[in-house]
Amino acid sequence: MTLIILMLTYNINCDKMIIPIRCMTCGKLVAHLWEEFNEQVNRGKNPRQSLDDLGFDRYCCRTLFLTQKDLIKDIMKFDI
Protein backbone atom coordinates (compact mmCIF):
# COMPACT_ATOMS: atom_id res chain seq x y z
CA MET A 1 0.00 0.00 0.00
CA THR A 2 2.87 2.36 0.78
CA LEU A 3 4.25 1.86 -2.74
CA ILE A 4 0.93 2.87 -4.30
CA ILE A 5 0.71 5.97 -2.11
CA LEU A 6 4.27 6.97 -3.06
CA MET A 7 3.50 6.46 -6.73
CA LEU A 8 0.39 8.62 -6.48
CA THR A 9 2.15 11.28 -4.44
CA TYR A 10 5.02 11.71 -6.87
CA ASN A 11 2.90 11.16 -10.02
CA ILE A 12 5.05 8.27 -11.17
CA ASN A 13 3.85 6.88 -14.48
CA CYS A 14 3.29 3.18 -13.91
CA ASP A 15 2.94 1.00 -16.99
CA LYS A 16 3.91 -2.18 -15.17
CA MET A 17 1.82 -4.23 -12.85
CA ILE A 18 2.51 -4.41 -9.15
CA ILE A 19 3.01 -8.05 -8.20
CA PRO A 20 4.19 -9.38 -4.85
CA ILE A 21 7.93 -10.13 -4.72
CA ARG A 22 7.34 -13.43 -2.91
CA CYS A 23 4.48 -15.87 -2.68
CA MET A 24 2.48 -14.92 0.39
CA THR A 25 2.13 -18.53 1.51
CA CYS A 26 5.41 -20.32 0.84
CA GLY A 27 7.81 -17.40 0.37
CA LYS A 28 9.11 -18.41 -3.08
CA LEU A 29 10.41 -15.55 -5.24
CA VAL A 30 7.86 -15.02 -8.00
CA ALA A 31 7.91 -11.39 -9.20
CA HIS A 32 10.75 -11.86 -11.68
CA LEU A 33 8.66 -14.39 -13.63
CA TRP A 34 5.48 -12.31 -13.98
CA GLU A 35 6.34 -10.59 -17.27
CA GLU A 36 7.43 -13.83 -18.91
CA PHE A 37 4.24 -15.56 -17.78
CA ASN A 38 2.10 -12.68 -19.02
CA GLU A 39 3.85 -12.62 -22.42
CA GLN A 40 3.38 -16.36 -22.89
CA VAL A 41 -0.33 -16.19 -22.02
CA ASN A 42 -0.85 -13.18 -24.31
CA ARG A 43 0.75 -15.16 -27.16
CA GLY A 44 -1.93 -17.81 -26.66
CA LYS A 45 -0.11 -20.37 -24.56
CA ASN A 46 -2.17 -22.29 -22.03
CA PRO A 47 -1.64 -20.74 -18.54
CA ARG A 48 -1.29 -24.20 -17.01
CA GLN A 49 1.53 -25.13 -19.39
CA SER A 50 3.18 -21.76 -18.91
CA LEU A 51 3.18 -22.14 -15.11
CA ASP A 52 4.61 -25.66 -15.46
CA ASP A 53 7.40 -24.38 -17.74
CA LEU A 54 8.27 -21.58 -15.29
CA GLY A 55 8.60 -24.07 -12.43
CA PHE A 56 5.51 -23.31 -10.38
CA ASP A 57 4.72 -26.61 -8.68
CA ARG A 58 2.89 -25.36 -5.61
CA TYR A 59 -0.75 -24.38 -5.84
CA CYS A 60 -0.18 -21.24 -3.76
CA CYS A 61 2.22 -19.72 -6.33
CA ARG A 62 0.02 -20.79 -9.21
CA THR A 63 -3.01 -19.19 -7.57
CA LEU A 64 -1.09 -15.96 -7.08
CA PHE A 65 -0.39 -15.68 -10.80
CA LEU A 66 -3.78 -16.88 -12.03
CA THR A 67 -5.79 -14.53 -9.82
CA GLN A 68 -3.64 -11.40 -10.14
CA LYS A 69 -5.55 -8.42 -11.56
CA ASP A 70 -4.00 -5.15 -12.66
CA LEU A 71 -5.72 -2.42 -10.66
CA ILE A 72 -3.01 0.24 -10.61
CA LYS A 73 -4.46 2.14 -13.58
CA ASP A 74 -7.87 2.22 -11.88
CA ILE A 75 -6.32 3.45 -8.64
CA MET A 76 -4.24 6.12 -10.38
CA LYS A 77 -7.45 7.88 -11.53
CA PHE A 78 -8.21 9.03 -8.01
CA ASP A 79 -6.53 11.92 -6.29
CA ILE A 80 -5.39 11.54 -2.72
pLDDT band at 71 (very low <50, low <70, confident <90, very high): confident
78 within domain boundaries: no
Residue 55 lies in a domain: yes
Residues 7-36 have a mean pLDDT of 77
Residue 17 — very low, low, confident or very high, per pLDDT cuts 50/70/90? low
41 domain residue, yes or no: yes
Predicted local distance difference test score (pLDDT) of residue 40: 96
Distance (Å, rounded) from C-alpha 22 to C-alpha 27? 5
Confidence of residue 14 (pLDDT cuts 50, 70, 90): low
| CATH, residue 59 | 1.10.10.60
Number of domains composing the chain: 1
Q: Is 54 part of any domain?
A: yes
Residue 38 domain-assigned (yes or no): yes
Q: Indicate the pTM of the whole model.
A: 0.69
51 found inside a domain: yes
Task: Show the domain range for 52.
Answer: 19-70
Helix (H, G, I), strand (E, B) or coil at 28: coil
Percent of the chain with pLDDT over 90: 57
In angstroms, what is the C-alpha Rg of the chain?
14
